[in-house]
Each structure stands twice: as structure tokens, then as C-alpha cells.
Amino acid sequence: MTLLAQAVPPGAADLARARGTHDVQGGLHLESWIYQGLDALGLEFPFEEWVLVAVTLLVVCGLVFGFINLFALFAVWLERKVSAHMQCRLGPMEVGPHGLLQTLADGIKLTVKEDIIPRVADKPLFILAPVIVFTGILIRFVPLPFGPGLVASDMDLGLFFVAAVGSVEVIGVIMAGWASNNKWSLFGTIRTATQMVSYEIPIGIAFVAVIVCAGSFSLMEIVNAQQGWFWSWFVYRNPFLTILSIIYLIASLAECKRAPFDLPEAESELVSGFHTEYAGMRFAFFFLAEYAAMYLVSAVAVVLFFGGWWSGIPAIDGIGLAPDDSALTVTVGFLMKAGIFMTKAIFFVFVQMWVRWTLPRVRLDQMMHICWKVLLPISLVCLVGSTLWELMTGGGAFFGIPTLFGFGG
Amino acid sequence: MTVGQYFSDIIKVARSIAIGMGITLRYFIHWKKNTITIQYPRERDHIPPRHRGIHYLETEKCVLCWKCSDICPVDCIYIEGTRGADGVLKGGYRGQKATLSKFTIDYTVCIFCGLCEEPCPPKCIFLGPEYDYNATDRTMMEKNLLTDEVYTEEDDKFVEWARDENERLVAEKKKAAEEEKAKAAAAKAAAAPGPKPSEAAP
């Protein structure tokens, strides 16, 4: 706490009061809201400044956790529906309208299940593993925006942070597999380690290519660089980035262990891989982490390539951005942008499910072949190509074509 | 592996993935048309008219002749009741009203052979479309057709239709058999004169 107190610069409260509740993109500042709300009521914030920061952090953490839970509830239902409809089935239909509350019922069942730890398991590691896996995902949500300004911490090295702490999850998975003392778990763990370490490289290269175009590591800055018509989205910026966006989507499937790269938990080969021995709440955390990771990689794809919260039509994006807009317009614009961002992210989650229920699982050697012999060389070529394209065309949108005709990005 | 093969492999893979994902997307979009699941207790599949399920009994028609229980090969039909105005069991079978007090069929024993349908004088017993034999107890499998409401009014319509359809099918089959027989006889008759000239030749 003393560290936290030192980290808060003196006069932070005055800054929060001064800067307004919304930023330039119509985003919210939570601390400013609290301060200005208290001011409006004629109250003083009764504690020191770092208490406010700590409270804000807790609230934000709780919000993100709540969001992950809600999203997982929805996504599990969606997954079951997508799979069912692609296989001429109906899927869950009994609990709630079209089975919408089925996941809630399953979640309640999981929480009241007996918590089993195998006798020969390494107890501390076994207990710690799901926590680390889930934390590894949760921590990646820190620099991820949910809408304009709606971000836990807009750090300058946001994208680097997302890529870096992603590896924490691997440690948790390895712990889970090793501590289970089960050969299937261990196989799954080894596969996870090889897979996730390999596929981080094409993802990192795709990140770098986007950073070159945007000129910043910050996810907010990257989104703001794609403002305007939809051809200023990075996926249309040059042909190499289009290819890189596809490479990122493929590699992100492997990164969150989804089919066709679900070798770590291959049901038909390894029972259920690294979480074979887990039951009840601990299993639920692995499950939650998987769906949170699905949202995360989709949201990152939206931020990097598909324009973030910009709808691609300036007339819609402009709502609430003018300096003399009323508070209502600003709020409407903000909510709309958050909704657009969420819709895009959920669309890519749907694409992941779509791929999962279409393609069969690849073999281990095929998986390594795809990563090292296909994705990696192509992504390297695309990185060089994209950078050269940026240098030569000066960064025009939509392959530079609108710039040629005097449109401008 | 040549460079050309490397790129042609990638294109081949991309093409096949696109085709596969197109198929699954089509199925996903047209799920209402494609779904083959039937939500059993609420929806039921089409039942053929000659399906032999739980008995459907037209109580008012029954004349209490015990012919069904007599013919039953496994003796699973238990009938009790009175016949005649004075409650004495006497007189002819047909046209005389009977008062049934019990008409129980033990479905743990019944083999659904349909023999009980055949001798019934007013044709009032019929193996209906109901196939739900769930029970938590053996005694529950003994269904009293007078009190257990197995069939609803909607089922009655179906049963009537099924009975007509059944009769029609039986008649059709009979007719077809007769036609076949007549044809065979005609063929025989036609074939019979064939060898005659050869016999007559010498």
C-alpha cells in the first residue's frame, strides 16, 4: 500500500477534477466521475488519494471479472448452439428461452460439486494451477479497451504487455499437468508448451507489423489510428496486413487452445488433457479462462486489424465527439462505440466456434509444420513487405488507393 | 518439396477450408429447416397407422363377452362387469348393454400381438398409437382402461383415422392378394392350354 501511495503523484485529485469525465474519444474517467460526483454533492473524499486509486483498481478488477463471467455464460451457450445447429441438432432448449440459462444451471452445478484432489497429486501445485491460468488471462485484460476510454490501464506498452504476460498461462497449464500425476495430463501439458511457445512468434510478428503502422504500442492509440472510413482499418491498409490478419486469427486459435489446434485437451486422445483430474470449481476456472482467452484474442484482433470501436462510417462515429455535444449525446455515442466493439469481438468469437465445428484436429507434426514452415516465413515476409509499403506509400489507407484519388485516410 | 508445391498446398488447404466452412455456415443459417431433433415429450414423431401400442377401448360399445381375454395368448386382460338390466350375466352378446367395472391390461405381460382386436364383436378394442410405458412401479404397468386416461380427445381422432387406415390397408392387402391369386389362376389357365397342342401333336 505504501508503494501504491508513492505511485500516486501529488495533486492527482486536482488533475482528476480538472480533466473532465470524458476524454477526447468520449471515454470515461472513473476517478473523475467519483470526484466530480462527490463535489456535486458537496462532499469531500474522506480518505487519502491512494485509497481512491485502490478502490478504483478493485472496482475495475471486479468489473472485468464480472464481464468475463457474463461473457462465458453467453459464449458457452453460443458455442453449444452453434455446434448443435451445424450438426442439425437443437442444443440446449429447456432452461430459459432457447436454453439461454443452461450455462447458469451448469455453473451452479459446478460450484456445488465436490472438490476432488487426487491422493498422489502434488497438492500445492494442483491447487495453484487454475489460479495461475486464470490470472494469466485476467491480467491480459488490463490494457485491453472495452470501448473508448473504457480501459483498466491505458499503458504505453499495452500490446507488448498482452504478448508478454500471455506466457504466464503456459506456466499454469504446465503446473496443472505435472501436479495431476496423470499421463494424459502430462501429454497435454507437453503439447501445450510446444504449441503456445511456437505460436507466440507469428502473433508477435503480426503485432510488430501493426505497431509499425500505428506508431504506438498502446491499444487505444492503435484504435484511434484507424478512425475514419472502414478502409482505414489496418486490415485494408496494405495486402501484407490483410495476410497478417489471417495469420493472427489462425495463430490465436492455437494460442487459446481451440480446435483445430486443441491438441492439449484432445478429447479423443487424452481424455481432456491437462485438466483431466480437475473437477468442480477448479475445472470451472479452466473453463472460464478458455472462454476469457477467446474473447481476449478476438478483441485484440478487432483492435489491431478491424478498427476497434470505429464503425467504419464517420457519420456514426462522430456522435458525441464534438466539443459542444450534450452529456446525453456523449453517453449515447460512448455506449454505441462500446457496443460496436463488443459486437465485432463477439463476431470473431463466433468465427472461432465456426472453425472449431468445421475443421478436424491437426496432428502434432502438422501443427508444428503449420507454425514453423508456413505461418512464420509468410509472416516474416509480410512484416518486411508491410514496412516497405508504409515507407513507399506514406501509409495510405485501403492499399493506398483512396489517397491516389485524393480521398485521404 | 518444391516451392511450387509449397504454395499450391497452401492454396489447396485454403480452398478446402473455405468449402468446409461454407457448408457448416449454410447448415447454421438454415438450422430451422435442417434440425432433425424432436423434443420428445412435447413433440412426437409420426406414428404409422398399424402401430400396436396401448389399447384403445370404446367403453360404450363393449358388450362384455370376454372374447378378447379368452383369445389373449398371455392372459393379460382382466375384465369385470355386469350385463343386462338386472345385473345378471345372461342372454346373447350382441346389442345388449353391459356395465364394465374393470378392464385392466397388464402391460408387463402384454405382447402387443393384436389378437384381441379380431374376435371382438363390436370391434371396440384396438391397439392404439400410445407408446409411453414409463412407470416407477410394477403395479403402475397394470393400466385400467376405464379410469386411466391414456388417450386424449386429440388422440381419439388419430385412433379413428388409424383404425380406418388400418382397415383400408388390410382390405387393400386382401384385394391385392386376391388379384394376385386371380392373376396366378389366369396365368395357370393361360399356361394350361400351352402344352396341350404339344401333347395332341403325336
Provide the 3-class DSSP secondary structure of residue A202.
helix
CA distance B66 to chain A (A): 46
Residues in chain A within 8 Å Cβ distance of B3:
none
Asked whether the beta carbons of A126 and A117 are under 8 A apart, the reply is yes
Provide the 3-class DSSP secondary structure of residue B104.
strand
Residue B10 covered by a domain: no
Query: Which residues is B144 bridged to in the sheet?
Result: B104
pLDDT for A30: 63
> Which member of B17, B27, B37 has the closest CB to residue A86?
B27
Query: Which residues is B80 bridged to in the sheet?
Result: B102
Comparing A254 with B160, which gets the higher pLDDT?
Answer: A254
Residue B74 covered by a domain: yes
Residue A208 pLDDT greater than 60, yes or no: yes
Using pLDDT thresholds of 50, 70 and 90, give the confidence band for residue A407. low
Asked whether the beta carbons of B124 and B62 are under 8 A apart, the reply is yes
Measured distance CA(B198)–CA(B202) in Å, rounded: 8
- Average per-residue pLDDT in chain A? 80
Provide the 3-class DSSP secondary structure of residue A22.
strand
Residue B30 covered by a domain: no
Residue B135 covered by a domain: yes
Asked whether the beta carbons of B92 and B40 are under 8 A apart, the reply is no
pLDDT for B35: 84
**Which amino acid belongs to residue A90?**
L
Comparing A304 with B58, which gets the higher pLDDT?
Answer: A304
pLDDT for A26: 44
* Helix (H) / strand (E) containing A254: helix A239-255
Tens digits of residue pLDDT in A61-109: 888 888 888 888 889 999 999 999 988 888 888 887 888 888 888 888 8
Residues in chain B within 8 Å Cβ distance of A357:
24
Question: Whole domain around residue B97: which residue ranges?
Answer: 55-164
Residue B93 pLDDT greater than 50, yes or no: no
Measured distance CA(B202)–CA(B199) in Å, rounded: 7
Measured distance CA(B181)–CA(B170) in Å, rounded: 16
Measured distance CA(A42)–CA(B27) in Å, rounded: 60
- In 10 A of CB B195, how many CB atoms? 9
pLDDT for A33: 67
If you average pLDDT over each of A175-179, B140-144, B152-156, which comes out highest? A175-179
Asked whether the beta carbons of A176 and A131 are under 8 A apart, the reply is no
Residue B19 pLDDT greater than 90, yes or no: yes
Measured distance CA(B69)–CA(B173) in Å, rounded: 28
Asked whether the beta carbons of B64 and B83 are under 8 A apart, the reply is yes
Provide the 3-class DSSP secondary structure of residue A147.
strand
- In 10 A of CB A277, how many CB atoms? 23
Q: Tell me the DSSP string of A322-359.
A: STT--HHHHHHHHHHHHHHHHHHHHHHHHHHHHHHTTS
Residues in chain B within 8 Å Cβ distance of A354:
21, 24-25, 28
Q: Quote the pTM value.
A: 0.76
Average pLDDT over residues A20-29: 50
Using pLDDT thresholds of 50, 70 and 90, give the confidence band for residue A20. low
Residue B130 covered by a domain: yes
Measured distance CA(B96)–CA(B84) in Å, rounded: 7
Residue B83 covered by a domain: yes
Using pLDDT thresholds of 50, 70 and 90, give the confidence band for residue A397. low
Q: Is A362 on the interface with B (CB under 8 A)?
A: no
Q: Is the peptide bond before A260 cis (omega within 30 degrees of 0)?
A: yes
Inter-chain residue contact B35 with A82, CB threshold 8 Å:
no
Residue A15 pLDDT greater than 90, yes or no: no
C-alpha cell at A119: 491422493
Average pLDDT over residues A238-245: 87
Residue B142 covered by a domain: yes
- Nearby residues of A245 by Cβ (< 8 Å), 6 or more positions away: A206, A234, A235, A301, A304, A305, A306
Query: Which residue of B8, B16, B24 to mutate against A (max A Cβ within 10 Å)?
Result: B24
Total number of domains in chain B: 1
Average pLDDT over residues A111-135: 87
Measured distance CA(A273)–CA(A257) in Å, rounded: 11
Instruction: Establish, for the pair of chains A and B, how many residue pairs have beta carbons separated by less than 8 Å.
Output: 39
Among A144, A265, A254, smallest CA distance to A201 is for A254
Measured distance CA(A400)–CA(A22) in Å, rounded: 33
Q: What's the CATH number where B81 sits?
A: 3.30.70.3270
Inter-chain residue contact B37 with A88, CB threshold 8 Å:
yes
Tens digits of residue pLDDT in B62-90: 777 788 888 889 988 888 877 666 555 55
Residues in chain A within 8 Å Cβ distance of B20:
358-359
pLDDT for A24: 47
In this prediction the ipTM stands at 0.73
Residues in chain A within 8 Å Cβ distance of B36:
88-89
Tens digits of residue pLDDT in A144-185: 888 777 777 777 788 888 888 878 888 888 888 888 888 888
Q: Is A85 on the interface with B (CB under 8 A)?
A: yes
Share of chain A above pLDDT 70, in %: 84
- Average per-residue pLDDT in chain B? 79
Asked whether the beta carbons of A223 and A295 are under 8 A apart, the reply is no
Q: From the centroid of its chain, how far is CA A8?
A: 28
CA distance B44 to chain A (A): 15
Residues in chain B within 8 Å Cβ distance of A259:
none
Inter-chain residue contact B17 with A359, CB threshold 8 Å:
yes
Residue B12 covered by a domain: no
Measured distance CA(A339)–CA(B163) in Å, rounded: 59
Measured distance CA(A215)–CA(A347) in Å, rounded: 27
Asked whether the beta carbons of A383 and A390 are under 8 A apart, the reply is no
- Taken as a whole, chain B contains a residue count of 202
pLDDT for A403: 58
Residues in chain A within 8 Å Cβ distance of B42:
none
Inter-chain residue contact B27 with A355, CB threshold 8 Å:
no
CA distance A67 to chain B (A): 27
- Nearby residues of B182 by Cβ (< 8 Å), 6 or more positions away: none
**Which amino acid belongs to residue A141?**
F
Measured distance CA(A175)–CA(A188) in Å, rounded: 11
Inter-chain residue contact B28 with A82, CB threshold 8 Å:
yes
Asked whether the beta carbons of A228 and A314 are under 8 A apart, the reply is yes
Q: Is A87 on the interface with B (CB under 8 A)?
A: yes
Inter-chain residue contact B25 with A359, CB threshold 8 Å:
no
pLDDT for A379: 92
